[in-house]
Amino acid sequence: MANVVIVGTQWGDEGKGKVVDLLTNYADYVVRFQGGNNAGHTLVVEGKKYVFHLIPSGILYENKKCMIGNGVVIDPAVLLEEMDELTEAGLPVTPGRLTISHNAHLIMPYHMLLDGADENAKKDGAKIGTTGRGIGPCYGDKILRNGIKAGDILDESLFREKLQENVDEKNFLLTKKYNRDPISFDDILRQYLDHAEKLAPFIGNVSVELDQARKAGKHILFEGAQGTQLDIDHGTYPFVTSSNTVSGNACTGSGFGPSHIDEVIGILKAYTTRVGEGPFPSELFDATGEALQKKGGEFGATTGRTRRCGWLDTVVANEAVRLNGVTGLAITKLDVLSGQNALKTATSYELDGKRYDAMPGNIKTTSKLNPVYEEMPGWQEDITQARNADDLPVKARNYVKRIEELTETPVMLLSVGPGREETMLLRNPFEK
Ligand code: GDP
Ligand code: IMO
Ligand code: MG
């Protein structure tokens, strides 16, 4: 039995969905523990592309159980849409296949309106470039103890009470602060009672189910969203998302005890990308950056925005290893680097004569950091057909070896294409 957490080590979109889908083969349970439909996880199975925002990436296996933990914020309309799409694809999501924590908070229509209004009111330079899905305002209400939980909509009188308080408060903000139209209590009530009826059979106690699964010796895979540099505490604040993305939250965000976690896998893209605003020391503004963007198909799966691209950064990777307790790295998109004459890696930063081996806590300093690069020869060969590490050109193997040295962490998976089969699993975390 093994319980494994998967996290992004950079600014998201590292290929977590693909790796979760692949490793689900060896797991019994797959659990989302934070984030919401700001995430976009793309899986390619037998040539068919699936994009999930909320439902765990393990859902494509019929005999596995998926869980949405208390740390996730749920837009019920998006969840129901994803369930409908899966039904259309011949994979109906039944209560036996999905449990939603009664403690997960719900994204309400006013959260989306406030997300947009707040971004709009910010000056250039202060805008975060959020996904506009209501994530920040929903987590904000949770922390302020005003939130509405999945379990609350099953109790109409409790839901009415909470909704009324929220509508009164949000209408004050919308009309007085942001000069927007008010929202209607009745419309939201009707809409959410309809969602409640559809979701009721799925809402339950994720913590209890996971405990029973663990005691029965089942394998549990925890699926992180976003990436370590987007963590609300440890990332490039305020240019972050509103949840803890690090592995510790796999426990808090699902109700699972930390002493039962066996492995933490950090997903590391072979180069770096970022969507939205905020510091990115190894960002490329030249033809190489454009080439990575094109070849890597670097468009956001949620908003369609072009992802900013840059060289690999092992300061960022080392932050992730430290903050998450990474026991193995999965390197993705190695194929995208084929054709580069030289590959640069940022191994530290420099500013005003001072060297930085970790992110400074000050955002103004972080945004001015100059990367210190080391350079390695690139390889020209197409590597998408490689299925064993030995199939890779020696220069690609050296690049991987150098990442292991710089991060002091073993690589346990290499990915050379979006498909399930375009993967080399060097060590299976579920086979101890
Ligand atoms: P996530 O948010 O971490 O799950 O990552 P996304 O799904 O948003 O972005 C990763 C993108 O890269 C998706 O379109 C994947 O299909 C694709 N992908 C994943 N691994 C590889 C790989 O090794 N090579 C290539 N070329 N594409 C990959
Ligand atoms: P996955 O799981 C990349 C970014 C947004 C924005 C910031 C805050 O696919 O890796 P939010 O809407 O969360 O308040 O936006 O965080 N962001 C992501 N970037 N991948 C994601 O998820 C992201 N989720 C949020 O672009 O900069
Ligand atoms: Mg993504």
* All structural domains of the chain: 3-96+205-425 (3.40.440.10), 105-202 (1.10.300.10)
Positions annotated as catalytic residues are: 13, 41
CB distance 227 to ligand 1 below 6 Å: no
CB distance 418 to ligand 1 below 6 Å: yes
Atom of ligand 2 nearest to the CA of 305: 26
CB distance 226 to ligand 2 below 6 Å: yes
> What does the alpha-carbon distance between residue 377 and residue 401 come to, in Å, rounded to a whole number?
13
Residue type, 132: G
Name the residue at shortest CA distance from atom 27 of ligand 2.
Answer: 276
For residues 53-85, one letter each, b for 16 or more C-beta atoms within 10 angstroms of the residue's C-beta and e for the rest, the string is: bbbbbbbbbeebbbbbbbbbbbbbebbbebbee
CB distance 39 to ligand 2 below 6 Å: yes
What is the end-to-end Cα distance of the chain in Å, rounded? 8
In 3D space, the residue among 18, 67, 43, 35 whose CA is nearest the CA of residue 205 turns out to be 67
Atom of ligand 1 nearest to the CA of 300: 8
In the reported structure, the alpha carbon of residue 50 is separated from the centroid of ligand 3 by a whole-number distance in angstroms of: 12
Phi-psi domain of 100 (left: phi exceeds 0; alpha: psi -120 through 50; beta: other): beta
Whether the Cβ atoms of residue 61 and residue 25 lie closer than 8 Å to each other: yes
Question: Which ligand neighbours the alpha carbon of 332 most closely?
Answer: 1
Residue-level pLDDT at 303: 86
Beta-carbon contacts of 72 under 8 Å, excluding residues fewer than 6 positions away, are: 32, 33, 34, 35, 36, 54, 101, 104, 253
Question: Which ligand neighbours the alpha carbon of 18 most closely?
Answer: 1
Name the residue at shortest CA distance from atom 11 of ligand 1.
Answer: 15
* SS3 assignment, position 421: coil
In 3D space, the residue among 375, 383, 394, 334 whose CA is nearest the CA of residue 14 turns out to be 334
Name the residue at shortest CA distance from atom 6 of ligand 1.
Answer: 13
CB distance 136 to ligand 1 below 6 Å: no
Residue-level pLDDT at 300: 87
Residue-level pLDDT at 302: 84
Element (H, E) at 77: helix 76-88
Low-confidence ranges of the chain (pLDDT < 50): none
> What does the alpha-carbon distance between residue 119 and residue 135 come to, in Å, rounded to a whole number?
12
Residue-level pLDDT at 29: 98
Residue-level pLDDT at 301: 84
Residue-level pLDDT at 1: 77
In 3D space, the residue among 292, 282, 289, 310 whose CA is nearest the CA of residue 373 turns out to be 282
Residue-level pLDDT at 154: 97
Structure-token pair, residue 51? 């994009």
- Relative to beta strand 342-351, strand 354-356 is antiparallel
- Relative to beta strand 308-310, strand 220-223 is unpaired
Atom of ligand 2 nearest to the CA of 13: 10
In 3D space, the residue among 250, 255, 244, 222 whose CA is nearest the CA of residue 103 turns out to be 255
Beta strands in 79-227 (DSSP E): 98-101, 105-106, 203-204, 220-223
> What does the alpha-carbon distance between residue 364 and residue 179 come to, in Å, rounded to a whole number?
31
284-332 pLDDT, tens digit each: 999 999 999 999 999 988 888 999 999 999 999 999 999 999 999 999 9
